[in-house]
């Protein structure tokens, strides 16, 4: 019941947000608007209900105060028959105390309700109910997210970036870390904010009830490109998710064409000190793992779409796409750019 109210309000909020997103014509990163007024999973529902309660009470408080102030001002004016403003003698009339008693009494009730509600929501979302979830390690970097899927079997561990796939209807445990400065992980439709702090591991969890793509964002100011540090949670039906995980484990297939081979050689020398492509000599660890780059819809934490044009633009001039990004401009010639991009497109 509660959940349905949340969903209905959520849908209304999403259509409003969708309209404004359409009007602003944002890039791919904003394809699904970020709204904290609707939730889509067991971690989010209690928080969204509390958000609405607090929002409605706050609006009511503002309205009541506005009405009382207006009433006070207007009531005073109607008594101006006593003389010009200021000429009225200040007098102490009995009965003022009742306003204080009523005012304090009435405000204490919603405050106490909100306090109890908040504490119970914190308890409710602290731990997922049901099946023991698996763990994904998410590390905030300036300005992208490293994502490592953990498994008891080391041959099933892999690393990806910025796009986190999860199975629909299953809670997933997240271990959040920071590589450089403090970031904060926030996917509003699924869970509240949790900071990623260097030297510390924060644990949270999330769950999505419905298949889809949920947009999140770094929400702790972390430097120049903080605003271009999106994260995407993609909830897949469990069978699709299992297949995705399996496909991420494979090393990159050797390039089939001469051009792609040249691209790979260039990639290893020019890009391999920062990026990893499993199955090649490129084993850099300071930038997103590109072994399955083509399985992602966006690049550079949502700053550009993962299309041939998006990739070319990024490789040719990352500083133009995301000024200040820690990927330097590599000054490839036109043919080199085509070869490297062609090679990246084989990384399915
Ligand atoms: C000095 C290290 C460094 C080198 C060298 C480097 N990159 Fe990067 N690259 C990065 C960093 C850091 C990012 C993440 C940037 C961001 O999102 O702000 C990145 C992001 C990318 C991405 C987007 C990945 C994703 O999933 O979002 C692609 C594609 C890419 N680089 C390709 C290349 C290619 C091709 C080369 C060689 C021509 C190269 N990079 C060389 C550091 C480097
Ligand atoms: Cu950040």
Q: How is 5-16 classified by DSSP, letter by letter?
A: HHHHHHHHHHHH
Bridge partners (DSSP) listed for residue 196: 183
pLDDT, position 25: 34
Q: Using 50, 70 and 90 to split pLDDT, how confident is the model at 80? A: low
Which two three-digit tokens encode residue 267?
Answer: 């990639």
Give the three-state DSSP class for 17.
helix
**In this model, does residue 14 exceed pLDDT 50?**
no
Domains 135-249 and 258-344 share a fold: yes
Whether residue 343 contacts residue 260, with contact meaning beta carbons closer than 8 Å, is answered with yes
281: enclosing H helix or E strand: none
Pocket test for ligand 1, best of 275, 284, 320 (most atoms within 8 A of CB): 275
Pocket lined around ligand 1, Cβ cut-off 6 Å: 143-144, 161-162, 225, 267, 270-271, 273-275, 286-288, 290, 293, 296, 299-301, 311, 314-315, 322, 325-328, 330, 340, 344
- CATH architecture of the domain 135-249 equals Sandwich (2.60)
Please tell me the distance from the alpha carbon of residue 235 to that of residue 212, in angstroms, as a whole number. 5
Kindly report which listed range (27-31, 109-113, 129-133, 217-221) carries the lowest average pLDDT score. Answer: 27-31
Q: Which ligand is nearest to the CA of 332?
A: 1
Backbone dihedral region for residue 279 (phi beyond 0: left; psi -120 to 50: alpha; all else: beta)? left
Summarised one tens digit per residue, pLDDT across range 239-278 is 999 999 999 999 999 999 999 999 999 999 999 999 999 9
Whether residue 136 contacts residue 194, with contact meaning beta carbons closer than 8 Å, is answered with no
Domain boundaries along the sequence of the chain: 2-75+97-126, 135-249, 258-344
In 3D space, the residue among 216, 222, 219 whose CA is nearest the CA of residue 141 turns out to be 222
Whether residue 152 contacts residue 285, with contact meaning beta carbons closer than 8 Å, is answered with no
For the domain with range 258-344, which CATH number is right: 2.60.40.420, 2.60.40.10, 3.40.47.10, 1.10.3720.10?
Answer: 2.60.40.420
pLDDT, position 83: 57
Output the average pLDDT for the chain: 87
Q: Using 50, 70 and 90 to split pLDDT, how confident is the model at 89? A: low
Give the three-state DSSP class for 255.
coil
| DSSP codes joined into one string, 180-239 | SS-EEEE-TTT---EEE-BT--EEEEE--SS-EEEEEEE-S--STTGGG-EEEEEEE-HH
Please tell me the distance from the alpha carbon of residue 2 to that of residue 93, in angstroms, as a whole number. 48
């Amino acid at each position: 019941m509660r959940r349905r109210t949340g969903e209905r309000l959520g849908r209304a909020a999403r259509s409003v947000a969708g309209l404004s997103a359409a009007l602003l014509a944002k890039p791919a990163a904003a394809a699904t608007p970020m709204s904290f007024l609707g939730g889509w999973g067991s971690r989010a529902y209690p928080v969204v209900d509390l958000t609405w309660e607090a929002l409605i009470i706050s609006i009511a408080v503002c309205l009541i105060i506005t009405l009382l102030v207006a009433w006070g001002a207007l009531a005073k004016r109607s008594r101006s028959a006593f003389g010009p403003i200021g000429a009225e003698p200040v007098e102490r009339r009995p009965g003022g105390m009742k306003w204080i008693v009523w005012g304090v009494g009435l405000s204490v009730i919603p405050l106490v309700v909100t306090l109890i509600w908040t504490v119970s929501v914190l308890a409710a979302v602290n731990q997922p109910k049901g099946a023991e979830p698996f763990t994904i390690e998410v590390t905030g970097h300036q300005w992208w997210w490293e994502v490592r899927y953990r498994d008891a079997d080391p041959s099933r561990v892999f690393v990806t970036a910025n796009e986190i796939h999860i199975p629909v209807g299953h809670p997933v445990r997240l271990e959040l870390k920071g590589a450089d400065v403090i970031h904060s992980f926030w996917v509003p439709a699924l869970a509240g904010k949790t900071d990623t702090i260097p030297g510390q591991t924060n644990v949270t969890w999330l769950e999505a009830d419905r298949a889809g793509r949920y947009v999140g964002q770094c929400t702790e100011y972390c430097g120049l490109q903080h605003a271009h540090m999106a994260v995407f949670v993609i909830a897949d039906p469990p069978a699709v998710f299992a297949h995705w995980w399996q496909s991420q484990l494979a090393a990159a297939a050797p390039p089939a064409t001469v051009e792609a081979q040249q691209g790979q050689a260039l990639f290893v020398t020019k890009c391999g000190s920062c990026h990893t492509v499993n199955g090649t000599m490129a084993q850099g660890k300071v930038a997103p793992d590109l072994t399955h780059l083509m399985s992602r819809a966006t690049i550079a934490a949502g700053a550009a779409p993962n299309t041939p044009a998006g990739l070319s633009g990024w490789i040719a001039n990352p500083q133009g796409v995301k000024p200040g990004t820690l990927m330097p401009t590599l000054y490839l010639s036109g043919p080199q750019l085509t070869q490297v991009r062609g090679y990246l497109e084989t990384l399915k």
